Structures are given as structure tokens and as C-alpha cells.
Amino acid sequence: MENSWIRFTVLVSGVLFFLFYVPVSNAQLAPAESRILFQVQQILEFPPALQTWNNWTSFCCLPHTPFLVIVCSNNHITELTIVGNKSFSSQITKLSPRNFAISQHTLSVKFSIDTFFTVLTKLSNLQKLSLVSLGLWGPLSDKINQFRSLSVLNISSNFIYGSITPSIATSQSLRSLVLSNNLLNGSVPDLKGLKFLEEIDLSNNHLGPEFPSLPNSLICITLGNNSLRSEIPRDFHAFNKLQILSLSSCKLIGPIPSFLFSLPSIMFINLAKNQFSGALSTNVSCNGNLTFIDISYNLLIGNLPSCLGSNTENKTVITTWNCLSNTTTKYQRSYTFCHKEALAVEPPARDRESSTLKLGIVLGIIGGIIAILGAFGFLALAFFRKVQRNRADDSKCDSFIIEKTSVHGFPIGNGRHVPQPMRLTSIGLPLYHVFTLEEMEDATNNFDPSNLVGGGFQDLVYKGRLRDGSVVLVKCLKLKQKHSPQALQQKMEVISKLRHRHLVSVLGHCIVAYQDHPNTSTTVFIVLENIANGSLRDLLSDWRKREVLKWPQRMAITMGIARGIQYLHTGGVQGNDLKTENIRLDESLTAKISSYNLALLSKGGTESPESPETDDIYRLGVILIEVITGRPINSQSELDDLKFQFERRLSVTPAELRGLIDPSIRGTFAYDSLKTVVQITMNCLCKDSSKRPTVEDVLWHMHYSVQVQEGWTGSGNLSGNLSGNLCRNLEHTR
Ligand SMILES: *[C@@H]1O[C@H](CO)[C@@H](O)[C@H](O)[C@H]1NC(C)=O
Ligand SMILES: *[C@@H]1O[C@H](CO)[C@@H](O)[C@H](O)[C@H]1NC(C)=O
Ligand SMILES: *[C@@H]1O[C@H](CO)[C@@H](O)[C@H](O)[C@H]1NC(C)=O
Ligand SMILES: *[C@@H]1O[C@H](CO)[C@@H](O)[C@H](O)[C@H]1NC(C)=O
Ligand SMILES: *[C@@H]1O[C@H](CO)[C@@H](O)[C@H](O)[C@H]1NC(C)=O
Ligand SMILES: *[C@@H]1O[C@H](CO)[C@@H](O)[C@H](O)[C@H]1NC(C)=O
Ligand SMILES: *[C@@H]1O[C@H](CO)[C@@H](O)[C@H](O)[C@H]1NC(C)=O
Ligand SMILES: *[C@@H]1O[C@H](CO)[C@@H](O)[C@H](O)[C@H]1NC(C)=O
Ligand SMILES: *[C@@H]1O[C@H](CO)[C@@H](O)[C@H](O)[C@H]1NC(C)=O
């Protein structure tokens, strides 16, 4: 009784729906397709819109709601739209492919996207398919091209990850492709073959870095919130039907092509929040139907073309937060901001010549690192060479060395102070890590200018905080020429191996390729350890801290610097911009060179080592003289003057020399120890670069000097009282 009443009701409502809602649908659905719908209901884990389906449901007659639309034609389903409540939202951050299966935001572990699409493709007449907010997870199935006549595909707001399957490019009948609000990454396959495509919406994914290759049949392009680190391609010229172009927050670079504004059908252009740079052409003409233009938050400079100049009744133009000069709004940044930021992202002038040269340098460095194994051999060699040179060359520069070495013989025979081969030095250094761009953006708060701590126009240095809380420096290097990914990887490998106790460690890197048709340009982010304890210059210019640095401490610091240089030079890395500002000291006063030449990536050619400005040995001499005198040297004449005085007094009495040194170290050094260091310092400062010692020579003299000092201390010259003070003072300055 009850049963027949229900049947009656269903019949009546069916008739009513037939009359009022779906007049075009055939009432009866092929049984096979009904079974498919029940399978869909089950696979989708009974979303609210499908919960009421049962054996008596007449699918083709269901009312259309915002959550469910089924349209039938000739007993076949032609449209299926299901909208769930498992909405994707950017608040859901902790999801990754590994935990989708257990998340309450997605379908369960039993769900298989491949099975799901296999079932759906049996609906062979399907033309419109929308599956929105259903919690679908997994990579986009390549079964997608097996729908024979699909023209609308909308799978937005799910958890589809991985790259877009290339098979989509063979779905010839597609008119609308919507994959927005998913977790898709990687490059978009070439879609130029989709001749009928009118709408594409891939917004809110992680797609990139190439700009997708799209057919010019498109009317509406929405790609916002992706990582298309590329320029707008020239072929947009031919997009005669394009009405809506929405490319905000895509990390796009390069100039805004002026033809965009005059495309024949264009109505809406949103290019906000990218990194577009340069000036807009002033003769831009705007299409008459263009009613909305947003170019805010870019790095544009120069004058605004007149057709973008003013908001009218029918036209909205948003130009804020660029560096434009004649806009009516006052919300613009300074020219230098845009200029600087643009350099950090802009593909540089094309320069294809010197990439082979670079490879040579890399091979040289690899060779150099192998040569490190022979460090001992080098050392011995340096010795003999020096002894020979000392005999042959009696110029003023070398004259100081002769007497000392000939009097005291070879302290290296002792072996105790011989520099250790490099194999020992990486012990205790932090691990190397390859970072993602997202990690770099997080660390530096999206490269916020307030985190900028230094660097020139070519390399910006940001302070940043990694996810583990550690503070680091992020150096952003724009590569000058094209590198193949392999060559670059090889170079980074070399850099990752440049690790030494006396170098500020490179903790990792991140390589980001920007597309610049037809080239690829690259930015490398180098993550450096942040040694927060200050520079050698800070220490020397603060009298209380200087007081702490007695002669033995100063020797240890300068020897550390020399060891760092030796390591770099054996690796072929010259021109390391050595100065006391660039020597960082950690808590235990271990010196670390912070400025070593990472430019092997970006510089065109190596600078001449002859120039005192760049020669490491000369610069080491300057550091040594500052350490000995305890005063920063600010000019060449100051330096020349000091050098002259030292040279004059060296040959006279000990008392004379004492007059020049830092009063803070008086009484803490053995005279011969100091004198040896002064002598080698004078040699480092030789105008003639060929007369300057090698770093091995310098180290050898320093070891000798340390030995003399230790002998002196050992015989009770440096009182225990004083060492006690030293420790306490060190504690004090921390
Ligand atoms: C529909 O009918 C079949 C048998 O004809 C039965 O096995 C199935 O459980 C029914 N399904 C529902 C949802 O009532
Ligand atoms: C979705 O709807 C179902 C049934 O109405 C409900 O139990 C569930 O909590 C909803 N989920 C969300 C995320 O709103
Ligand atoms: C995708 O489908 C949903 C549900 O029908 C709809 O709200 C949304 O507008 C569609 N997206 C596009 C870009 O058509
Ligand atoms: C896409 O993301 C997955 C992890 O979700 C990752 O393994 C893969 O490398 C990414 N692909 C690209 C091209 O970034
Ligand atoms: C990009 O993401 C932001 C923040 O999630 C959102 O406000 C904006 O609407 C998104 N843009 C597009 C084009 O979807
Ligand atoms: C703008 O001027 C340049 C040269 O001055 C010319 O090459 C270009 O075609 C002009 N563009 C338009 C849209 O008139
Ligand atoms: C503006 O659009 C209409 C149709 O939407 C078209 O007929 C007209 O030619 C367009 N005007 C211009 C200046 O392109
Ligand atoms: C900006 O200056 C250019 C050239 O001087 C001029 O063509 C344009 O109309 C000006 N724009 C505004 C908004 O004043
Ligand atoms: C704005 O558009 C309306 C019709 O959409 C038109 O009548 C009016 O003339 C336009 N105003 C201007 C200033 O172009």
C-alpha cells in the first residue's frame, strides 16, 4: 500500500518535473548509464547532492539545482554537473599528496581518480562535465581524452596535483577547460591544437614556469595565481577574439606588450601583482570596448599612456604601486625601487658568447679541488720556490725574509702546524640543502625590501628565516648568460662543495628559471649561514673588544683567514673581496670569509689578479696591517704611509717597531713573532704582484711566528694572570 503510494508520488512528481523543468530531456535513461550514475554516487562517497538517489530515481527528470544538473538526450546523459561541499580553500595548507587520503577535506583512501574517470568515460555522449568541490584527489587522469564529444570540462576546486596530462591536448572538441583551484604544477602541455577552445581557467594552481602555449580561438584566459615566471608571448597579437585576459599574481616578467590594449575584442585586462617592468609605450591605443585595466603592483616606470590615464564612466584603470611618473594617484613607489627589484627578476641582456668560458672555469675548479689532495705537495713546493727566489731576488720586497728564514731554518719540519689537508675541514659544517622558490619566498617574506641587507645591483642580499627558525642570508644572483640546467647543476655542485671552517657556509641554493622567449634566464638564490657575531672590523674599531684580542688571538684569526684563502686558491677561486668588513667571527672567534667569489656564476670574466684592489694576497696584507696596528685603514695614502713607516723601522730597533703597533697587544707578543708577521705583511703589500708571496708562503711564516710565540709563552713570558683575564674578557664581550 505504502509502496504504491510512493510510486504514485514519484510518478506525479516525475510528470511535473517533466512538464516544468526539463522539457528537452528524454525521461528514460539507458539502464547502463543509470548503473554508472550509481557507481559515481558510490565512488564520490555519497556527496549531499547525490544522497537521495535510489532505484526509483529518474535521473533525466531531476530538477536542476546549483549542486546537480543532469541533462539527457536520446536516453544518454549529455551533461553532468555535480557540486560538493568539500571546498578547496587556501586555508588548507598542511595538505600534501601524502596525506590526502586521510584528510577530511578530500575523498578517502579508497578513492582512485583513475577508476573514477574510467567509469565516467563510459558516458559516451557526455558533452559537459563539471565536478566541483568534491574532494577529488590524485593526478589528472590521462583517460580524459576518451570522452568523444566533451566540450566543457570543469574540475575546479579539488585536490588534483601533478602536471596537466598531455592527453588533454588531444581532446579536440573542448571549448571550455577549467582546472582552477587545484594543486597542479609543472608546465602546461601545448594546447595550440585545441582549435575550438574559447575559455581556459587554470587559476590558483602552481603551474609554470613557461607561459602556456594557447590557441588563438580563446575568448577568455584566466591564469591568475600561478608561477609563470615568463614574459607574455608575442603570439598574443593574433588573439582576435580575446575579451578577457586575467593574469594577476603570476610572477610574470618583462615589458607589457602595448598591443594587448588594442586587441580587437579586448574588454578586460588584469595584470596586477606581477613583476612587469620597463615603460609602457606612450602611443598605446586602447580598444573602445576595453572597460577594465589593472596594472597595479608591478615594477613599471615612465609615463602612463594617455588612454590609460583617466578613469571614465565606462573605464576603470588601476595603476597604483608601480613607479609611474605622471599618474593622478599618489600611490606610487620610487623609481629606484622598481629599478632594483626589476634587476632581481628581469632577464638580462642576451649574451651568448661566454658560456663556454664558464665551463672552462668550472672544469678548472673541479680540477682545483682534486688538486687539494696534493696540498702537502704544494706546500713543500712553495718552500723550495721561495728559498730559491729569496736567493735570486734581492729587491727590497723580499729582503726581510732572507734573514729570518736563513737564521731559523724550517719550522715545518716539526709538522705540528702544517695546514691540514681539506678533507678534515668540512667536519661539523651544516648540511647542504636544495631549496624551493616557495621556501625562499617564505624565508624572506616574499623578498620584502625591509629584509634587504646589502648587495649591489647584480646581487641582492636578503636576511631570512628558514622554516626551522634559523636565520640565514639569501643572496640573489642573476645569471648573465644562458646555462643548460646540467651545466648549472654542475656549478652548484662545485659551490656546494666549497665548504671550509674558515668560509661562511653556503647552506643551499635554489635555481629559478624565468622564461624569456626564446631564451631561459636564471636566478640563483644562494643561502648563506648568518654569522651574527660581527665582523673583524667591528671588533677592531670597538676599543673594549679590541682589548680582548691579544696577539695570540689575532694570530689565530689571521691564520684562519689565510687558510680560507688557501682553500679558495687551491680551488681556483680568486678575487674574494677581502676586507675586515667581510671577515665574520663566530662565538669562538673563528674567522670566516663571507665575501668569497660566488661570482663564478655571474661574472663575465675574471678580473686581473694583478690589480691590488682584487688580489687576495694584497688584501690579506691590508687586513694584517689593520690587525697589527689595531686601526681601520680608510685610504690608500694611509696605507702607503704606514707601510713606509713599518719598512723603515723594521731595520732599526725593536722599540721603533713597537711604536706602530696596537697598544692593546703590548706585552702579549714575542718580538720575533710580531716581526715575522710584519715582514710577510710588507711582502703581501708589494706593488709588483709577482713579488708578492703565495698564500702558502704567508701561512708558512705565520706558523713560524706562532711557534716563536709559543716558545716565548712557554718560558713564562705571558703570565697566567693575563690568560685568565683573556677568558673573562671574552665572556664579557659576548
Ligand atoms: C536497487 O535494486 C537492486 C536490485 O534490483 C538492489 O540490489 C539495490 O540494493 C537497490 N539499490 C538501492 C539504492 O535501493
Ligand atoms: C558536507 O555536507 C555533509 C552532509 O550534509 C556534512 O555532513 C558535512 O559536514 C559537510 N562538509 C563540509 C565540509 O561542510
Ligand atoms: C565550474 O563549475 C561550477 C559549478 O557549476 C561553476 O560555479 C563555475 O562557475 C564553473 N567555472 C567556470 C570557470 O565556468
Ligand atoms: C609537482 O609537485 C610534486 C609534489 O606535489 C613534486 O614531486 C614534483 O616535482 C612537482 N613538479 C614540478 C614540475 O614542479
Ligand atoms: C589569488 O589568490 C588571492 C589570495 O588567495 C585571491 O584573493 C585572488 O582572488 C586570487 N586570484 C585569482 C585570479 O584567483
Ligand atoms: C608606437 O610607436 C612606435 C615607434 O615610435 C611604432 O613602432 C609602433 O608601431 C607604435 N605603436 C602603435 C600602437 O602605434
Ligand atoms: C565592441 O563590442 C561590440 C560587440 O560586443 C562590437 O560590435 C564592437 O565593434 C566593439 N567595438 C570596438 C571598438 O571594438
Ligand atoms: C603622461 O605623459 C605622456 C607623455 O608626456 C602623455 O602622453 C600622457 O598623456 C600623460 N599621461 C597622463 C595620465 O597625464
Ligand atoms: C558608457 O556606456 C554606455 C552604454 O553602455 C553609453 O551609452 C555611454 O555613452 C558610454 N559612456 C562613455 C563616456 O563612453
Cβ(85) – ligand 2 distance below 6 Å: yes
Residue with cell 712553495: 382
For residue 479, pLDDT over 50 is answered with yes
For 698-729, the pLDDT digits (tens) are: 999 998 898 888 888 877 665 433 333 333 33
Predicted pLDDT of residue 93: 61
CB proximity list for 367: less than 8 A, separation 6 or greater: 572
Q: Could you tell me the pLDDT band of residue 353, with boundaries at 50, 70 and 90? A: very low
DSSP label of 142: G
Cβ(287) – ligand 7 distance below 6 Å: yes
**Residue 216's Cα: distance from chain center in Å?**
34
Amino acid at site 327: T
Cβ(224) – ligand 5 distance below 6 Å: yes
Predicted pLDDT of residue 718: 56
Q: Could you tell me the pLDDT band of residue 83, with boundaries at 50, 70 and 90? A: very high
| Angle of CA points 356, 357, 358, to nearest 5° | 90
| 390 vs 315, more confident | 315
| Candidate from 215-219, 630-634, 678-682 with smallest mean pLDDT | 630-634
Look at ligand 2, atom 1, and give the residue with the nearest C-alpha. 85
Cβ(303) – ligand 8 distance below 6 Å: yes
Say if CB 574 and CB 616 are below 8 A apart.
yes
Looking at ligand 3, which atom is closest to the CA of residue 199? Answer: 13
Element (H, E) at 463: strand 459-465
Cis peptide bond prior to 209, omega within 30° of 0: yes
Q: Could you tell me the pLDDT band of residue 625, with boundaries at 50, 70 and 90? A: very high
Q: How many CA atoms lie within 13 A of 10 on its CB side?
A: 15
Mean pLDDT computed over every residue of the chain: 78
| 602 vs 46, more confident | 46
Predicted pLDDT of residue 291: 92
Predicted pLDDT of residue 612: 67
Q: Which residues does ligand 3 sit against, CB inside 6 Å?
A: 81, 83, 130, 132, 154, 156, 178, 201
CA 204–ligand 5 middle distance (angstroms): 7
Cβ(533) – ligand 7 distance below 6 Å: no
| Candidate from 10-14, 21-25, 597-601 with smallest mean pLDDT | 21-25
Q: Could you tell me the pLDDT band of residue 7, with boundaries at 50, 70 and 90? A: low
Look at ligand 8, atom 3, and give the residue with the nearest C-alpha. 303
Query: In the structure grid, which three cell numbers stand for residue 347, read together?
Result: 632577464
Cβ(74) – ligand 1 distance below 6 Å: no
Q: Could you tell me the pLDDT band of residue 513, with boundaries at 50, 70 and 90? A: confident
| 588 vs 418, more confident | 588
Looking at ligand 4, which atom is closest to the CA of residue 186? Answer: 13
Residue with cell 677592531: 540
| Angle of CA points 553, 558, 563, to nearest 5° | 125
Is the domain defined by 421-530 classed in CATH 3.40.50.300? Answer: no
Look at ligand 4, atom 14, and give the residue with the nearest C-alpha. 186
Cβ(287) – ligand 6 distance below 6 Å: no
For residue 633, pLDDT over 80 is answered with yes
For 233-251, the pLDDT digits (tens) are: 999 999 999 999 999 999 9
For residue 607, pLDDT over 60 is answered with no
Calpha distance 25→59 (Å, rounded): 10
Q: Could you tell me the pLDDT band of residue 127, with boundaries at 50, 70 and 90? A: very high
CA 167–ligand 4 middle distance (angstroms): 19
Q: Average pLDDT in the 670-679 region?
A: 90
Predicted pLDDT of residue 428: 59
Looking at ligand 9, which atom is closest to the CA of residue 313? Answer: 13
At residue 74, the 3 state secondary structure works out as: coil
Looking at ligand 2, which atom is closest to the CA of residue 87? Answer: 13
Best mean pLDDT range from 7-21, 186-200, 557-571: 186-200
CA 312–ligand 9 middle distance (angstroms): 9
In percent, how much of the chain has pLDDT > 70? 75
In percent, how much of the chain has pLDDT > 90? 35
For 300-343, the pLDDT digits (tens) are: 988 888 888 777 778 899 998 898 887 776 788 888 788 777 77
Kindly list the domain boundaries of the chain, sorted by start residue.
356-406+533-734, 421-530
Best mean pLDDT range from 70-74, 333-337, 378-382, 383-387: 70-74
- Cα dihedral: 339, 342, 343, 348 (round 10): -120
| 105 vs 199, more confident | 199
Q: To test ligand 1's pocket by mutation, which of 38, 55, 58 has the most ligand atoms within 8 angstroms of CB? A: 55
Looking at ligand 9, which atom is closest to the CA of residue 314? Answer: 1
Q: Could you tell me the pLDDT band of residue 92, with boundaries at 50, 70 and 90? A: low
Look at ligand 6, atom 8, and give the residue with the nearest C-alpha. 283
Cβ(285) – ligand 7 distance below 6 Å: no
Q: Could you tell me the pLDDT band of residue 80, with boundaries at 50, 70 and 90? A: very high
* Torsions phi, psi for 194 (to 5 deg): -85, 85
Cβ(450) – ligand 1 distance below 6 Å: no
Q: Are strands 68-73 and 583-585 parallel, antiparallel or unpaired?
A: unpaired
Cβ(309) – ligand 8 distance below 6 Å: yes
Q: Average pLDDT in the 659-676 region?
A: 88
For residue 21, pLDDT over 60 is answered with no
Predicted pLDDT of residue 97: 67
Q: Average pLDDT in the 376-391 region?
A: 40
Calpha distance 690→335 (Å, rounded): 46
Q: How many CA atoms lie within 13 A of 617 on its CB side?
A: 25
Question: Which ligand number lies closest to the CA of residue 290?
Answer: 7
For residue 365, pLDDT over 70 is answered with no
Looking at ligand 5, which atom is closest to the CA of residue 203? Answer: 14
Predicted pLDDT of residue 4: 58
* Torsions phi, psi for 43 (to 5 deg): -60, -35
For 524-561, the pLDDT digits (tens) are: 888 988 887 888 998 888 888 888 888 999 999 999 99
Look at ligand 9, atom 7, and give the residue with the nearest C-alpha. 314
CATH number for domain 356-406+533-734, candidates 3.40.50.300, 3.30.465.10, 1.10.510.10, 3.10.20.340: 1.10.510.10
Q: Average pLDDT in the 583-595 region?
A: 88
| 379 vs 422, more confident | 379
CA 185–ligand 4 middle distance (angstroms): 6
Cβ(91) – ligand 5 distance below 6 Å: no
Q: Could you tell me the pLDDT band of residue 404, with boundaries at 50, 70 and 90? A: very low
Q: Could you tell me the pLDDT band of residue 206, with boundaries at 50, 70 and 90? A: very high
Predicted pLDDT of residue 454: 72
| 92 vs 161, more confident | 161
For residue 100, pLDDT over 80 is answered with no
For residue 376, pLDDT over 60 is answered with no
CA 55–ligand 1 middle distance (angstroms): 6
Looking at ligand 7, which atom is closest to the CA of residue 289? Answer: 1
Looking at ligand 6, which atom is closest to the CA of residue 284? Answer: 13
Q: Could you tell me the pLDDT band of residue 372, with boundaries at 50, 70 and 90? A: very low
CB proximity list for 278: less than 8 A, separation 6 or greater: 254, 255, 256, 300, 301, 302, 342
Cβ(588) – ligand 5 distance below 6 Å: no
CA 41–ligand 1 middle distance (angstroms): 13
Q: Could you tell me the pLDDT band of residue 601, with boundaries at 50, 70 and 90? A: low
Predicted pLDDT of residue 190: 95
